């Protein structure tokens, strides 16, 4: 591997379909974990990554897998898979699966996401003819294997993501059982945000002569950002968003949702309320994303609704507000999201809606940024909320005098 610093995806030996997908998503410069991991993974090395979420590690392992399978196409055996990505939670499984779909949109490989809490039959149907990539949580995966709907004896690549969370959630017995079902000859990738002795011991049983990398995210929020959180029921978020956007200072607003369908629903709601809004996410064509971004940049569109996967290409001056309609399940994503405002010496406001089921996400965010996010009373906007324990509410500050205003979109 060359010692030349990697500053562009063009320097990586990725096939044209992958480069086309990355360009459409606005990816230009690899993150440190991507620059460090992708070249050796393309060579077939095992990898031990001490890397937190928000560092770009999903692309770091997804792109080499897609590249490998694109170059060596074979039809997976019935009820089998060539790659398995094991994750601790449903939310993370869905997010990783969407990333594989977005990165591999021009590659033409088959994948399925497997998790519990939903009907099993669509997952069974997807596995029947064999798939290239399975992204799964342990419980449902073992259920399908036990019923004979999926085999791992043809596995070529095994990825264990967020190993420390896996152990915290009691999945170690499931992981050990799965290890008995996969071939000894395979490429293995192991990611964990922390590396205590139990995690290191598990890694030793999975990996062979691995490359070791340790990447820490830049996770300090911009000091000029006025952060607030509003505790609101999920069903009341629509009304709250409408009221927030009535404020005079909301000139150019970036709204984040957790899913693509959620982004589309928010846009439909805003358009119905006569607010000029567009969505940008992985299901949109490159031309549609670029058009939406240009409309947002030139002020024709007042509100841009985005998912994390599409947000890296958003670099627009004058964003007055970032609104987390859904709190991210990865705390580092919060830092990247709110950093879209308060640029070029301007001030900015970041408002987060927190439903009862998202309180754990807020705790993770506050732990990462080493501060509590001030709570704003939802009654400020005439919307009922709920009172979180041990939190006091604050009224929003008056707009700063002399703040640069743009023409209302």
Asked if residues 231 and 392 have their Cβ atoms less than 8 Å apart, the reply is no
* % residues pLDDT > 70 (the chain): 88
Residue 21: what pLDDT?
Answer: 92
On whether both 69 and 180 belong to a single domain, the answer is yes
Asked if residues 375 and 392 have their Cβ atoms less than 8 Å apart, the reply is yes
Asked if residues 208 and 48 have their Cβ atoms less than 8 Å apart, the reply is no
Select from 138, 158, 161, 159 the least CA-distant residue to 53. Answer: 161
Asked if residues 97 and 159 have their Cβ atoms less than 8 Å apart, the reply is no
**Tokens encoding 332:** 């580092």
On whether both 315 and 190 belong to a single domain, the answer is no
Q: Which of 198-207, 260-269, 307-316, 342-351 has the lowest mean pLDDT?
A: 307-316
On whether both 199 and 235 belong to a single domain, the answer is no
Task: Place 92 in a pLDDT band, splitting at 50, 70 and 90.
Answer: confident
Between CA 113 and CA 133 the distance in angstroms is: 9
Residue 4: what pLDDT?
Answer: 58
Asked if residues 140 and 93 have their Cβ atoms less than 8 Å apart, the reply is no
Residue 409 in any domain: the answer is no
Residue 316 in any domain: the answer is yes
Domain boundary among 215, 238, 259: 215
Residue 106: what pLDDT?
Answer: 95
- Whole-number average pLDDT of the chain: 86
On whether both 201 and 269 belong to a single domain, the answer is no
Between CA 101 and CA 135 the distance in angstroms is: 11
Residue 251 in any domain: the answer is yes
For 28-45, the DSSP string reads -S--HHHHHHHHHHHTT-
Residue span of the structural domain in which 257 resides: 225-394
On whether both 190 and 308 belong to a single domain, the answer is no
265-289 pLDDT tens trace: 999 999 999 999 999 987 887 678 8
Contacts of 387 (CB under 8 A, 6+ apart): 231
Say whether pLDDT at 305 is over 70: yes
Residue 1: what pLDDT?
Answer: 45
3-state secondary structure of 47: strand
On whether both 266 and 317 belong to a single domain, the answer is yes
Domain boundary among 215, 248, 275: 215
Domain boundary among 177, 194, 215: 215
On whether both 82 and 164 belong to a single domain, the answer is yes
Q: Is 157 left (phi over 0), alpha (psi -120 to 50) or beta?
A: beta
Residue 50: what pLDDT?
Answer: 85
Q: In this structure, what CATH number is given to the domain that contains residue 139?
A: 3.40.50.300
The neighbouring-strand residues paired with 245 are: none
Residue 243: what pLDDT?
Answer: 95
135-148 pLDDT tens trace: 999 999 999 999 99
Select from 174, 173, 168 the least CA-distant residue to 192. Answer: 168
On whether both 308 and 162 belong to a single domain, the answer is no
On whether both 114 and 156 belong to a single domain, the answer is yes
Task: Place 404 in a pLDDT band, splitting at 50, 70 and 90.
Answer: very low
On whether both 164 and 296 belong to a single domain, the answer is no
Task: Place 3 in a pLDDT band, splitting at 50, 70 and 90.
Answer: low
Residue 326 is given by DSSP the state S
Specify the number of domains making up the chain. 2
Residue 82 in any domain: the answer is yes
The dihedral sign for the CA sequence 395, 396, 400, 406: negative
On whether both 250 and 192 belong to a single domain, the answer is no
Residue 13 in any domain: the answer is yes
Residue 283 in any domain: the answer is yes
Contacts of 361 (CB under 8 A, 6+ apart): 327, 328, 329, 331, 354
In terms of pLDDT, which residue wins out, 162 or 179? Answer: 179
- Residue with the two structure tokens 């506050």: 366
Between CA 350 and CA 255 the distance in angstroms is: 10
Residue 63: what pLDDT?
Answer: 96
Residue 220 in any domain: the answer is no
**Tokens encoding 284:** 């949109």
Residue 400 in any domain: the answer is no
- Other C-beta atoms lying within 10 Å of the C-beta of residue 184: 6
On whether both 266 and 209 belong to a single domain, the answer is no
Between CA 346 and CA 348 the distance in angstroms is: 7
361-386 pLDDT tens trace: 999 899 888 889 999 999 989 998 88
Asked if residues 229 and 237 have their Cβ atoms less than 8 Å apart, the reply is no
Asked if residues 12 and 6 have their Cβ atoms less than 8 Å apart, the reply is yes
């Amino acid at each position: 591997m060359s010692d030349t610093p990697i500053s562009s995806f063009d320097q990586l030996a990725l096939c044209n379909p992958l480069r086309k997908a990355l360009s459409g998503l606005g990816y230009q410069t690899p993150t440190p974990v991507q620059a460090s991991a992708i070249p050796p993974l393309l060579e077939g090395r095992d990898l031990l990554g001490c890397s937190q979420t928000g560092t770009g590690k999903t692309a770091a392992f997804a792109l080499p897998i897609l590249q490998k399978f694109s170059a060596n196409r074979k039809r997976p055996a019935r009820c089998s898979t060539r790659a398995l990505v094991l994750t601790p939670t449903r939310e993370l499984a869905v997010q990783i699966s969407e990333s594989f779909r977005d990165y591999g949109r021009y590659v033409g490989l088959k994948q399925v996401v497997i998790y519990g809490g939903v009907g099993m039959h669509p997952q069974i149907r997807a596995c029947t003819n064999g798939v290239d990539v399975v992204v799964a949580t342990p419980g449902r995966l073992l259920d399908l294997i036990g019923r004979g709907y999926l085999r791992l004896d043809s596995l070529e690549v095994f990825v264990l993501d967020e190993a420390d969370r896996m152990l915290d959630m009691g999945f170690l017995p499931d992981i050990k059982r799965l290890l008995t079902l996969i071939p000894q000859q395979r490429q293995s990738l192991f990611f964990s945000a922390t590396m205590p002795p139990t995690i290191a011991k598990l890694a030793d049983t999975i990996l062979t002569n691995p490359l070791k990398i340790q990447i820490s995210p830049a996770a300090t929020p911009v000091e000029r950002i006025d952060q607030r959180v509003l505790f609101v029921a999920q069903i009341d978020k629509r009304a709250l968003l409408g009221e927030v956007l009535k404020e005079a200072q909301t000139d150019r607003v970036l709204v984040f949702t957790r899913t693509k369908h959620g982004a589309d629903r928010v846009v439909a709601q805003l358009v119905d309320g006569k607010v000029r809004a567009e969505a940008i996410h992985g299901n949109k064509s490159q031309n549609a994303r670029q058009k939406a971004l240009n409309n947002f940049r030139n002020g024709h569109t007042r509100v841009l609704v985005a998912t994390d996967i599409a947000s890296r290409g958003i670099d627009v001056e004058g964003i007055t507000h970032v609104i987390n309609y859904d709190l991210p399940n990865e705390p580092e994503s919060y830092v990247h999201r709110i950093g879209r405002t308060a640029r070029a010496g301007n001030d900015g406001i970041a408002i987060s809606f927190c439903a009862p089921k998202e309180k754990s996400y807020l705790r993770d965010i506050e732990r990462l940024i080493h501060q509590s996010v001030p709570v704003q009373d939802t009654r400020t906007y005439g919307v009922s909320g709920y009172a979180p324990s041990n939190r006091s509410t604050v009224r929003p500050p008056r707009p700063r005098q002399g703040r640069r205003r743009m023409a209302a979109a």
